[in-house]
Amino acid sequence: MAKKLYVGNLPYGISGSDLERMFGDHGAVESAQVIADRDTGRSKGFGFVEMRNDQEAEAAIQALNGQDFNGRALTVNEARPREDRGGGRRESTGSRFGSGSTGGSKRW
């Protein structure tokens, strides 16, 4: 069964194919992805690599965690499940000003 790894402290110029080559020395890589900012497209400095099995994933962690890569000490460990940040829309409880009215002109 495939195991997903978190890779942090990456140089900003690294690509998914660079990650795939780096981790490929330690086992079969199912996927490699560098996370980019949605607005700018620039790397956020971390990514994920999915290794074919637990043994290959552990070998990659042991070999690469803390290793210097372009002047940066890599962080490599097992990825944790994504936290639910509660996206979606919130229910409105009235006007944003609290009075419940929509404002506008008043008749006297």
Per-residue confidence (pLDDT) for residue 82, from 0 to 100: 79
pLDDT at 5 over 60: yes
Question: Which domains does the chain show, CATH number per domain?
Answer: 1-44+65-72 (3.30.70)
Count CA atoms within 13 Å of residue 105 on its CB side.
2
pLDDT digits (tens, 9 = 90+) for 52-92: 999 999 999 999 999 999 999 999 999 998 777 776 666 55
Per-residue confidence (pLDDT) for residue 86, from 0 to 100: 72
Cβ within 8 Å of residue 105, ≥6 positions away: none
The answer to whether the CB of 51 falls within 8 A of the CB of 79 is: no
pLDDT digits (tens, 9 = 90+) for 16-36: 999 999 999 999 999 999 999
Residue 88 is given by DSSP the state S
Residue 95 is given by DSSP the state -
The residue type of 27 is: G
